[in-house]
Structure 1
Amino acid sequence: MLAAACTGVSCGQPSGSWTTARPVHGYRVVASYPHDPDAFTQGLAIRDGQLYEGTGTYGASVVRRVELTTGRVLQETRLAPELFGEGITLWDDHVVQITWRNHQGLIYRRADLTQAGSFALPWEGWGLTHDGAHWIASDGTEVLRFLDPETQEVVKRLQVLDETHPVRYLNELEYVRGEIWANIWHSDLIARIHPDTGQVNSYVDLRGLRPGIDSKKSQQVLNGIAYDADADRLFVTGKNWPTLYEIEVLPASTGK
């Protein structure tokens, strides 16, 4: 059994002691780019070479378009001060953003980031992605919800498991090559999840990327996955990180 991959959060259960036999991938940094260290990153997406980011905290939450190579903010819309922004996804010509405990989702026009609509979110919002047919949302538990994009109604719930163990604290999400990838909160792990069974196929261990912790930014954790399907490029960052990384995921190893 491979315990090393699950140090700190024990594969998504901070109080647990179980380990995993799932394959674990390392990584190689392909390139690094500047990232706003004041951005409390909650959602990340990329299209047409431009990065989209949703940030959190009350009074400072935004949705923005960012120049990839420089980190320069090209356009930004601030949320109302009572809203705490969370995950985002790109859907057709829109950016969809969910909020944490405000029970509200927001829809923006991608062209200018003006708000085009809103919808009810009866649970905590954490991460958001889509599989081409459904929006997929996390709420910090081991359950993912699949939503109808037209009605925003839940059409499917998926429990995420490592064999028989629930994998909790699923945070920012991205759909990558037919899998749901999820940051596990307060860990350096990304879980690669089968979208039909909910089983974790493998983990990506990103230890070593996290910057030195700023005592004023104690939540400075890995949180942000963006997959450029057109160019087959993968980007990751974290809350208040000064760097965005393009990475290559290496072949997996196992503890067996």
Structure 2
Amino acid sequence: MKKYNFLIAISLGMTLIGCGDTKKGENSLFTIDDSAFPAHFTTPESVSIGILNPNSKEIDSIAYFVNDKKVGSTKSTEKFKFELKDQKLGYQYLKATVYFGSDSSDATKRIELVSNVTPKLLKYKIVNTYPHDTNSFTEGFEFHNDTLYESTGQNGKSYLRKYDYKTGKIFKQIDLDSKYFGEGITFVNGKLYQLTWQEKTGFIYDAKTLKLEKTFTYDKDIEGWGMTNDGTYIYQTDKTEKIWKMDPKTQKMIDYINVYSGDAKIKAINELEWINGKIYTNVWLKDAIAVVNPTSGAVEGILDMSGLRKFLKVTPDDVLNGIAYNPKNKTIFVTGKNWDKIFEITVSE
């Protein structure tokens, strides 16, 4: 197990995060008793929340909240048990509002909920290689109607391109204004959506003509990184461990998940691709692809792609980034920033 975790740590560059709150008591009257709390909680577990009452106040009742949602109440100092199975991975904010006499006071605590899934080490097989433009700083990579589309970054060099992946022949290219750094793309509902990096601006094109129809501003203060969709909703990354869920009709963020592999938070997830109900994601600066459960955020599989480098004429700075699923052949196309090749692969356990 230790060897396996070590391999994953090398591949994904995990950052282990501790659980508790550094503030041992925000309230002078009551505190949440964390003496029996583990370093991390996992999804099948429950948390038993008790109150310390150092001043021996006569307590009438206690209302309990998890992430500002009331989950129950007790009389006096009786402990409250709450199951964590339906909570998203990441930090959970506990609050107990204690009522005594005509007064009330809050006690708070933060815990961390991590994944109980052990990721499978997946295998891949190269079935074909194709040329890739070494001037392409790949940010978005996606098939639409059996044609490959690519979005690239770098100010003054960003473009959206539709081309023949077998020959590299360009069918159409749209150059972005030099003030924009292009990022992820995805097709949904007859539209092509494109992100920009730090400009907090997105573009919506007609999927057939690639005519720009709308420019929108992110409704969260985040960066734009990778993009994919499940046929209804768009998912996008922002350089952290979060994958945001966006309504393409309104361009509003409606939810998010936090990506964890075991008790490790995976930050800097980048390009995304929806494949058979899972999200495949590149990890910035790592030669690895993580397979993520889109509901829980748990990493269920790992693809170590470092073996591709022996076939390339690239530098260590030319990082893996680009995942495109071809539903016609049921194969996955991967490439990287300024790579000279695209690899068509199949994946197995």
- What TM-score, normalized to structure 2? 0.67
Q: How far does residue 72 in structure 1 lie from its aligned partner after superposition?
A: 1.6
1:197 aligns with 2:200: no
Instruction: Report the secondary structure of 1:191's partner residue.
Output: strand
| Structure 1: distance between partners of 2:308 and 2:173 | 27
Q: Provide the residue aligned with 1:254 in structure 2.
A: none
| Structure 1: distance between partners of 2:205 and 2:180 | 15
Q: How far does residue 32 in structure 1 lie from its aligned partner after superposition?
A: 0.6
- Spell out, residue by residue over 1:117-139, the C-alpha distance to the aligned partner (whole angstroms, 9 max, x if none): 11112310000001112110101
Aligned partner of 1:176: which letter? I
1:162 aligns with 2:261: yes
| Structure 2: distance between partners of 1:14 and 1:165 | 5
Q: 2:10 aligns with which of 4, 7, 27?
A: 7
> Equivalences for 1:38-53 in 2 at 5 Å?
38-53=135-150
Q: Provide the residue aligned with 1:219 in structure 2.
A: 317
Residue pair 2:118, 2:262 contacting (<8 A) in 1 also: no
> Any unmatched runs of 5+ in structure 2?
18-116
Aligned partner of 2:340: which letter? P
| Structure 2: distance between partners of 1:168 and 1:50 | 31
Aligned partner of 1:10: which letter? G
Aligned partner of 1:144: which letter? I
Q: Provide the residue aligned with 2:189 in structure 1.
A: 92
> Equivalences for 1:79-158 in 2 at 5 Å?
79-121=176-218, 122-158=221-257
Residue pair 2:132, 2:168 contacting (<8 A) in 1 also: yes
Residue pair 1:49, 1:68 contacting (<8 A) in 2 also: no
Q: How far does residue 14 in structure 1 lie from its aligned partner after superposition?
A: 10
- Spell out, residue by residue over 1:157-202, the C-alpha distance to the aligned partner (whole angstroms, 9 max, x if none): 1111112221111000000100011100111111100011110011
1:239 aligns with 2:337: yes
Aligned partner of 1:50: which letter? T
> Equivalences for 1:12-23 in 2 at 5 Å?
13=15, 21-23=118-120
| Structure 2: distance between partners of 1:189 and 1:97 | 24
| Structure 2: distance between partners of 1:162 and 1:43 | 24
Instruction: Report the secondary structure of 1:38's partner residue.
Output: coil
Aligned partner of 2:271: which letter? E
Superposition CA RMSD, Å: 1.9
Q: How far does residue 91 in structure 1 lie from its aligned partner after superposition?
A: 1.5
Residue pair 1:77, 1:114 contacting (<8 A) in 2 also: no
Greater relative contact order (CA < 8 Å, ≥ 6 in sequence)? 1
Q: Provide the residue aligned with 1:181 in structure 2.
A: 280
Identical columns (%): 35
| Structure 2: distance between partners of 1:220 and 1:193 | 24
Q: How far does residue 26 in structure 1 lie from its aligned partner after superposition?
A: 2.1
| Structure 2: distance between partners of 1:117 and 1:173 | 23
> Any unmatched runs of 5+ in structure 1?
252-256
Residue pair 1:8, 1:14 contacting (<8 A) in 2 also: no
| Structure 2: distance between partners of 1:100 and 1:180 | 21
| Structure 2: distance between partners of 1:39 and 1:182 | 19
Residue pair 1:193, 1:199 contacting (<8 A) in 2 also: yes
Query: Residues 213 and 34 from structure 1, CA distance in 2 versus in 1: closer, same or farther, beyond 3 angstroms?
Result: closer
Instruction: Report the secondary structure of 1:209's partner residue.
Output: helix
- Spell out, residue by residue over 1:82-114, the C-alpha distance to the aligned partner (whole angstroms, 9 max, x if none): 000000111132211100000000111222322
Q: How far does residue 213 in structure 1 lie from its aligned partner after superposition?
A: 3.2
